């Protein structure tokens, strides 16, 4: 939402483990920092490989599970903000810059060189997030243009992108409805469906082009859903957000759904019952509120969740029913480490942190 590598500048950062500010004894280990860089996207394709991207054309890459990070700038794009990122392995990754001209770049050599796979010079373009449901099929979402949400898809590992036809959207866009480019996590896929969440004056969950109002704070450009997470078994969905101008406000900052193949429709009369997939996700009314505004959420396993934002970091061991504030440190995005009960977090000043749950 609105409101050529520099080889000579390659720097390897290994910062002795520091402790992020926390409430209690569950400390977040700070692994690296880079002043003046805001990280909004993390991608962790395997246990050892971590990619991060953000402002000033900056990338941070680790090939050893976060022990060391290499910082790079993408030559020619030093003033761009890459808030969308997906990595397949330590060699291949794709990034998208948010505003006009919208640029999508891909690398096959670990970020040593990049080539353009998409460009859009429309002055209204604003790309918010990228998500691949498998190695080949990806989606990029963007803010509305001409009263239609902007959606790109690729079926060849991001080499080519096509704009989705207007017929895909079965629900009309509401006034002031858009996306937040806060954590590259407002898209998800599960059980054959594609989901994304909008915020602003209206906040809705979209399933395969059909929208449902969310019981979350709304009515301002700073309010609504920011991030969506689905657990590994694909039966629980949690959505977080709030009002980023009131980071301590915990009211209506979360909602969720449970998947059931036999559930009766729970949607309002505006949604036609012929869209059978909607009847399988039932509103979860048992969720508790995390502490304040949250821009990112992820499942650690089928029951444990972690959410972060400018208000701090919260942990739930009960699928979101109860939350514990485990750190008051601000982070924009959190992602699970592949193959481990652990997460990486990233935020302002290039801070990348690590939290392992083996001792919890």
Q: What is the C-alpha separation between 264 and 40, in angstroms, rounded?
A: 38
Calculate ∠ Cα 121-205-40, nearest 5°.
50
Q: First-to-last CA distance in the chain? A: 36
Residue 199 has pLDDT above 50, yes or no: yes
Residue 347 pLDDT > 90: yes
CA dist., res. 196 & res. 103, Å (int):
21
- Give the predicted TM-score (pTM) of the model: 0.89
pLDDT for 312: 97
C-alpha dihedral sign at 98, 142, 354, 292: positive
- State how far Cα 224 lies from the chain centre: 14
Q: Is the dihedral of CA 294, 300, 301, 306 positive or negative?
A: negative
**Per-residue confidence (pLDDT) for residue 16, from 0 to 100:** 40
> Measuring CA to CA, which residue among 228, 218, 222 is closest to residue 247?
222
Q: Which pLDDT score, from 0 to 100, does residue 76 have?
A: 95
- Do strands 18-19 and 29-32 pair parallel, antiparallel, or not at all (unpaired)? antiparallel
Percent of the chain whose predicted confidence (pLDDT) is above 70: 87
CA–CA distances in Å: residue 2 to residues 7, 178, 181, 201: 32, 9, 8, 14
> Which pair of structure tokens corresponds to residue 163?
């704009």
For the record, the structure tokens of 15 come out as 């910062």
Closest CA to 142 of 133, 132, 152: 152
Q: Is 96 helix (H, G, I), strand (E, B) or coil?
A: strand
Query: Which residue pairs, CB below 8 angstroms and at least 24 apart, start in 194-198?
Result: 194/133, 194/139, 195/228, 195/230, 195/237, 196/129, 196/141, 196/228, 197/224, 197/225, 197/226, 197/227, 197/228, 197/239, 197/241, 198/149, 198/224, 198/225
Give pLDDT, residue 360. Answer: 75
In this predicted model, what pLDDT tens digit does every residue of 42-80 receive, in sequence order?
Answer: 999 999 999 999 999 999 999 999 999 999 999 999 999
SS3 230: strand
Report the share of the chain in percent with pLDDT over 90.
84
pLDDT tens for 215-253 read 999 999 999 999 999 999 999 999 999 999 999 999 999
């Amino acid at each position: 939402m609105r409101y050529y590598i520099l080889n000579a500048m390659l720097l390897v950062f290994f910062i002795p483990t520091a402790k992020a500010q926390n409430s209690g004894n569950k400390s977040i280990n700070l692994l690296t920092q880079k002043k003046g860089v805001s990280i909004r996207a993390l991608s962790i394709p395997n246990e050892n490989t971590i990619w991060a991207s953000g402002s000033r054309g900056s990338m941070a890459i680790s090939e050893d599970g976060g022990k060391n990070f290499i910082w790079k700038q993408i030559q020619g794009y030093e003033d761009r903000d890459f808030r969308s990122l997906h990595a397949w392995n330590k060699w291949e990754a794709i990034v998208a810059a948010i505003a006009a001209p919208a640029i999508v770049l891909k690398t096959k050599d670990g970020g040593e060189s990049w080539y353009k796979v998409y460009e859009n010079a429309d002055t209204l373009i604003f790309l918010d997030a990228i998500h691949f449901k498998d190695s080949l099929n990806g989606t990029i979402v963007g803010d509305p243009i001409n009263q239609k949400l902007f959606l790109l898809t690729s079926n060849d590992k991001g080499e080519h992108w096509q704009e989705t036809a207007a017929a895909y959207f079965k629900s009309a866009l509401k006034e002031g409805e858009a996306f937040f480019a806060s954590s590259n996590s407002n898209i998800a896929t599960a059980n054959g469906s594609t989901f994304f969440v909008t915020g602003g004056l209206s906040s809705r969950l979209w399933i395969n082009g059909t929208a449902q109002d969310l019981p979350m704070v709304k009515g301002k450009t700073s309010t609504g859903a920011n991030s969506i997470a689905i657990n590994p078994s694909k039966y629980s969905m949690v959505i977080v957000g709030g009002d980023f101008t009131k980071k301590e406000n915990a009211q209506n900052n979360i909602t969720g759904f449970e998947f059931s193949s036999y559930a009766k429709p729970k949607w309002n009369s505006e949604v036609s019952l012929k869209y059978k997939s909607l009847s399988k996700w039932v509103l979860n009314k048992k969720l508790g509120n995390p502490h304040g505004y949250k821009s990112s959420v992820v499942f650690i396993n089928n029951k444990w969740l972690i959410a972060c934002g400018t208000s701090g970091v919260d942990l739930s061991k009960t699928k979101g029913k109860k939350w514990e504030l485990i750190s008051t440190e601000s982070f924009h995005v959190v992602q699970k480490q592949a193959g481990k009960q652990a997460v990486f977090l990233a935020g302002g000043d290039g801070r990348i942190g690590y939290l392992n749950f083996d001792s919890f």
